[in-house]
Amino acid sequence: MIDSYVAAGDTAVRTTKVVGHRWSAPSFEIRDFLAGNAVPYRWLSVDEAEGRRLLDAAGVGPERLPLVVTADGDALVAPNITDVTEAVGLSSTPATDFYDLVVVGGGPAGLGAAVYGASEGLRTLLVEREATGGQAGQSSRIENYLGFPDGVSGAQLTDRARRQATKFGAEILTARDVTGLRARGPARDVVFRDGNMVAAHAVVIATGVSYRDLDVPGAGTLTGRGVYYGSASTEAADCVDADVYIVGGANSAGQAALFFCRVAKDREPGRASRLAPARQVALLDRAGSGDRQHHGPVGDGHRQDARRQTPRGGHAARHVSIASTLIRVGCRTTPTLRRTPMAR
From the candidate CATH numbers 1.10.286.10, 1.10.10.10, 3.50.50.60, 1.10.3720.10, the one assigned to the domain spanning 219-328: 3.50.50.60
- In DSSP terms, 43 is beta-bridged to 18
Q: Which fold has domain 2-87?
A: Glutaredoxin (3.40.30)
Torsion of CA 75, 26, 239, 269, to 10 degrees: -150
Where in the chain are all domains bearing CATH 3.40.30.10?
Answer: 2-87
Backbone angles phi, psi at 110, to 5 degrees: -65, -45
Confidence (pLDDT) at 284: 47
The CATH architecture one would assign to domain 98-209+334-340 is 3-Layer(bba) Sandwich (3.50)
Where in the chain are all domains bearing CATH 3.50.50.60?
Answer: 98-209+334-340, 219-328
pTM: 0.78
Confidence (pLDDT) at 261: 78
Give, in order, the Cα–Cα distances in Å from 275 to each of 105, 257, 313: 30, 14, 19
Contacts of 177 (CB under 8 A, 6+ apart): 129, 192, 193
DSSP 3-state of 272 = helix
Confidence (pLDDT) at 308: 47
What is d(CA 147, CA 156) in angstroms, rounded to the nearest whole number? Answer: 13
pLDDT in tens, the chain (344 residues): 566 656 666 666 789 999 999 889 999 999 989 988 989 999 999 999 999 999 999 999 888 999 999 999 999 999 999 999 999 999 999 999 999 999 999 999 999 999 999 999 999 999 999 999 988 887 878 888 889 999 898 889 999 999 999 999 999 999 999 999 999 999 999 999 999 999 999 999 999 877 778 888 888 888 888 888 876 566 777 777 778 888 776 777 777 777 777 777 655 555 443 434 444 445 445 555 444 444 444 445 554 554 444 444 444 455 555 556 665 555 665 555 555 554 43
- In DSSP terms, 77 is beta-bridged to 67
What is d(CA 284, CA 269) in angstroms, rounded to the nearest whole number? Answer: 8
Cβ atoms of residues 55 and 46 within 8 Å? yes
Confidence (pLDDT) at 279: 47
What is d(CA 97, CA 331) in angstroms, rounded to the nearest whole number? Answer: 34
